[in-house]
Chain A
Amino acid sequence: MSKLLEVKDLKVSFDTYNGEVQAVRGVSFDLDKGETLAIVGESGSGKSVTSMALMKLLAGQGFIKEGQVLLEGVDLVKKSEKEMQKIRGKDISMVFQDPMTSLNPTMKIGNQIMEGLIKHQNMNRENAKKRAIELLNQVGIPQPEVRMNQYPHQFSGGMRQRVVIAIALACNPKVLIADEPTTALDVTIQAQILELMKEIQKEVDSAIIFITHDLGVVANVADKVAVMYAGKIIEMGTVDDIFYNPKHPYTWGLLGSMPTPDSTDEELYAIPGTPPNMLKPPVGDAFAPRNEFALEIDTVMEPPMFKVSDTHYAATWLLHPDAPNIEPPETVKQRMQGFANTGRKDGDK
């Protein structure tokens, strides 16, 4: 059976004055109906560019160099801009990070929701209006009839993000891409929006690609997780694989650098240095210069994806049969163990 969305060896570059910046260097993943994939990574890791490339929304200098994006078997990379316009908002839609700037400030909320419905589903204004009210109701906005005639500035940040979600959901998309949808919001509002997205996913059964750098959010929403570094997926697995049995030193670093309520006075496990310059991607493993566990081979040859289990893959030489047996740093290990003991004492909060 074919998957809903298959991305194969996607490469995206940007032309700049200084040369070609290789933002995404061969990313592959697939997604089923109703599934949520979280892509995590630091800024500059290529996670947002990947999502933009799926929608073919790359800004002027960006282009897809290689690879395929198969939506139900049809390659989107080969589609023209005109054909893409029919797909965006209908089959794939997007929720952006900043609800303050992703709505048109001079247009009433109602019209912004109805736009897609009229264009993609050939609804007349009356039906579109009915559906828009329904959508606002669905995303939990009180008094939708009144709110329809208001402008974005009359909404709070959380409410605006709900409107953006309503727009994205208007045509029941098969894939919803959410690029840091809650980063600009307060924790309590964030929790509400995440709950809302999960509820709606259950109702309409769409697949979600969730892009974030917040591992707490990932643990909350994801079924599968892809960890990106320097334009590549360096570890991929189910959410439990990644959080309870991480294999890549970069994933260790990410997990270790977040304090949990149980962390005490010990230092946080910080990843030294900064991500590489993608103008000149390093030879060998891109993470090697920041990796205290780097092996000699890391500076020469890039590690392939090693299989850990049927669902779990990681690109690190540490998984090679000949590699020395290296344990994750103590703080990360403690964390993994602490998590493994379910029924945490603060679980009742």
Chain B
Amino acid sequence: MTREKVLEVKDLKKHFSAGKDKVIKAVDGITFDIYKGETFGLVGESGSGKSTAGRTIIRLYDATSGEVKFNGEDVHGRKSRDQLRKFNRKMQMIFQDPHSSLNPRMTVLDIIAEGIDVHKLAKNDAERKKRVEELLEVVGLNKEHATRFPHEFSGGQRQRIGIARALAVEPEFIIADEPISALDVSIQAQVVNLLKRLQRDRGLTYLFIAHDLSMVKYISDRIGVMYMGHLVELADSDELYENPVHPYTKSLLSAIPLPDPRYERERVRIAYDPTAHDTSEEPEFREIRPNHWVRCTSKEFEQYKKELEKK
């Protein structure tokens, strides 16, 4: 089966210097592809580098090394303004905090139309306004909202404005960095349903970054688990949940509280001990089953494989 790759990330690294000789390796060599029309979930704890990865992919940060290819073109290479503009239009981002990601001094109309202006997608003011009103409709707000300011909206509504802004330039690929973690449960479901509907209607591809595993499992086709700047496991979401291989993934899965008291009473939490790994060689990303990748040494690889076969 050959699926069209939208994004190819190869050995991407992003290091930050933290004074003197200290270097923080926020993202330390991750490799994955995202296919057209799918949702790729990236999970991990705070500090695992998942947000940095997202921001580096969209070039909010310059990569330390490695490669990001979008539709076959290098994202991080030197680019003319024109090329950059073209690229920016194809890839958009939805941010975590709906309170700080919208300019409080701009009306909703101007916030959403900013991309339209930059890319000159509207011929005149009337068309610009019409496009914004359409977008508001798409995300479940109404056109009377266009003249208001962000503070007049609730968190869920603001996140909808953020989504409308991202959609304004008709992107193919959207990076959603914890788009629902700041929202109430009942509102989370509304926003997730909206994202799913938009994906269906517009053929969008998502990179969905979150720490809420049950939501990620629900929305994603494939999931990558990050730990300390590395991708430790990558698989189809069902496969990852049913047959987690890496001890960190197992520990993460065992820690999710489920809304089911009987299950919770019996739940056994697995603790992760990062020192228990085989250190005889540098771990590598290996394919343990078709499309199921794990970061491990060759010795661990054999061991994991046996465990999988036993199941």
A interface residue numbers (CB < 8 A to B): 42-43, 157, 186-192, 194-195, 213-220, 222, 239-240, 243-244, 253-261, 263, 267-272, 274, 339, 342, 344, 346-347, 349
What are the nearest 8 A-B pairs in CB distance? A216-B257, A257-B189, A259-B218, A270-B189, A215-B259, A268-B189, A186-B45, A271-B186
Supply 16 further A-B pairs (C-beta < 8 A) apart from A186-B45, A220-B257, A270-B189.
A42-B185, A186-B46, A219-B260, A240-B262, A244-B261, A257-B185, A258-B259, A259-B215, A260-B259, A267-B196, A269-B189, A271-B190, A339-B260, A344-B263, A346-B241, A349-B270
On whether the beta carbons of A274 and B188 are closer than 8 Å, the reply is no
On whether the beta carbons of B188 and A257 are closer than 8 Å, the reply is yes
- Among B270-285, those with CB < 8 Å from A are 270, 272
Q: Which of the segments B11-19, B88-96, B120-128, B247-255 contacts the partner chain?
A: B247-255
Q: Which of B189, B196, B254, B267 has the most CB of A within 10 A?
A: B189
On whether the beta carbons of B215 and A239 are closer than 8 Å, the reply is no
On whether the beta carbons of A187 and B218 are closer than 8 Å, the reply is no
B228 at the interface (CB under 8 A from A): no
On whether the beta carbons of B184 and A43 are closer than 8 Å, the reply is yes
Known: A195-B269, A243-B260, A339-B260. A261 touches B255 (CB 8 A): no
CA distance A243 to B260 in the complex (A): 7
CA distance A346 to B270 in the complex (A): 14
Residues of chain A lying within 8 A (CB to CB) of residue B269 = 191-192, 195
B211 at the interface (CB under 8 A from A): yes
On whether the beta carbons of A243 and B261 are closer than 8 Å, the reply is yes
CA distance A215 to B258 in the complex (A): 7
Write 18 A-B pairs (CB below 8 A) sorted by A numbering. Answer: A157-B46, A188-B45, A188-B252, A188-B272, A191-B255, A219-B258, A219-B259, A220-B267, A254-B186, A256-B189, A257-B188, A260-B260, A263-B218, A269-B189, A274-B187, A339-B263, A344-B263, A349-B244
B214 at the interface (CB under 8 A from A): yes
Residues of chain B lying within 8 A (CB to CB) of residue A217 = 257
B103 at the interface (CB under 8 A from A): no
On whether the beta carbons of B185 and A213 are closer than 8 Å, the reply is yes
Least CB distance, B18 to chain A, in whole angstroms: 15
On whether the beta carbons of B261 and A239 are closer than 8 Å, the reply is yes
Secondary structure type dominating chain A contacts: helix
- Among B158-190, those with CB < 8 Å from A are 184-190
Closest to A189 in B: B45
Least CB distance, B266 to chain A, in whole angstroms: 6
CA distance A42 to B183 in the complex (A): 9
On whether the beta carbons of B186 and A253 are closer than 8 Å, the reply is yes
Residues of chain A lying within 8 A (CB to CB) of residue B45 = 186-189
Least CB distance, A62 to chain B, in whole angstroms: 22
On whether the beta carbons of B258 and A261 are closer than 8 Å, the reply is yes
Residues of chain B lying within 8 A (CB to CB) of residue A43 = 184
Binary CB contact string for chain B from 90 to 126 against chain A (1 if under 8 A, 0 otherwise): 0000000000000000000000000000000000000
Closest to A156 in B: B47
Closest to A213 in B: B185
On whether the beta carbons of B252 and A215 are closer than 8 Å, the reply is no
On whether the beta carbons of A272 and B211 are closer than 8 Å, the reply is no
Known: A187-B211, A214-B257, A268-B218. A254 touches B193 (CB 8 A): no
- Among B181-205, those with CB < 8 Å from A are 184-190, 192-193, 196
On whether the beta carbons of A191 and B262 are closer than 8 Å, the reply is no
CA distance A344 to B266 in the complex (A): 11
On whether the beta carbons of A254 and B185 are closer than 8 Å, the reply is yes
Least CB distance, B268 to chain A, in whole angstroms: 8
Closest to B237 in A: A261
